Amino acid sequence: MPSTIIGYARTSTIDQTYGLAAQLRDLEAAGCEKVFQEQVSSVDKNRPELERALEYAREGDVFVVTKLDRLARSMPDLVRITDTLQAKGVTLKILALGIDTSTPTGKLMMNLLGSIAEFEREIMLERQREGIAKAKEEGKYKGRAPTAQRKADDVRRLRAEGKTAEEIVEVLGVSRSSVFRILRGTENLSASSRGGDNAF
């Protein structure tokens, strides 16, 4: 099967349309035959078109973006994406940086970026450990609250709005048992709420 040159373009929800148009123009000039594009918020972790593009790529294909920040939102994110492409035997090209991982120089640059990401992660973890140790010395460290307990107020609010247990589980991403445990622990539950799972 012949290789495909795949393009990916992204703008945030506050970017002007011409920002996306410029990327598409550059990707077309780079010979992209299949282009995935999306407009998503910079704080939204979900990028469905990027995931579709990565899934679409096959061994021997070339994955092209105009700039590094159009592809990844952080160094760890970049490492994840490049690892995915490398494992599939797909070449990455970043037009603005002149990076092409099919060349020795391009591979070197990506390895350097990966090393920087690992260094940043180690620094972050070290600061986190130091912060916890200091908090323990001062008697201020209480650890993290369980995820479900941190969302207890949201569970009760959604229940008050008439949501079922299943709907609350889907909205908040907590387990069904945690939802029932939180609701049963609420002092002012109605009798129907205390009736068991079937009450929902």
- Give the residue extent of every domain in the chain: 5-101, 115-143, 147-187
pLDDT at position 190:
45
Amino acid at 184: R
- HSE-CB at 175 with a 13 A cutoff on CA atoms is 6
Annotated catalytic residues are: 12
Per the rule left: phi > 0, alpha: psi between -120 and 50, beta: everything else, 70 is alpha
10 close to 40: Cβ distance less than 8 angstroms = yes
Nearest C-alpha neighbor of 184 from the set 174, 172, 198, 196: 196
Distances (CA, A) of 24 to 12, 32, 38: 15, 9, 11
Task: Tell me the C-alpha distance between 149 and 166, whole Å.
Answer: 17
- At residue 100, φ and ψ (nearest 5 deg) are -140, 110
Q: Which residue has the tokens 């709005």?
A: 161
**Is residue 6 within a helix (H) or strand (E), and if so which, with residue range?**
strand 5-11
Classified by CATH at the fold level, domain 5-101 comes out as Rossmann fold (3.40.50)
pTM of the model: 0.58
Task: Tell me the C-alpha distance between 12 and 6, whole Å.
Answer: 20
Sign of CA pseudo-dihedral 9, 78, 91, 56: negative
Kindly state the tokens that stand for 148: 């479900």
Amino acid at 138: E
- Tens-level pLDDT at each residue, the chain (200 residues): 678 999 999 987 666 666 889 999 999 999 999 999 998 876 667 899 999 999 999 999 999 999 988 898 877 788 889 889 999 999 999 999 899 999 999 888 888 877 776 777 778 788 888 888 888 887 776 665 556 667 788 888 888 888 888 888 878 877 878 888 887 765 344 444 444 444 44
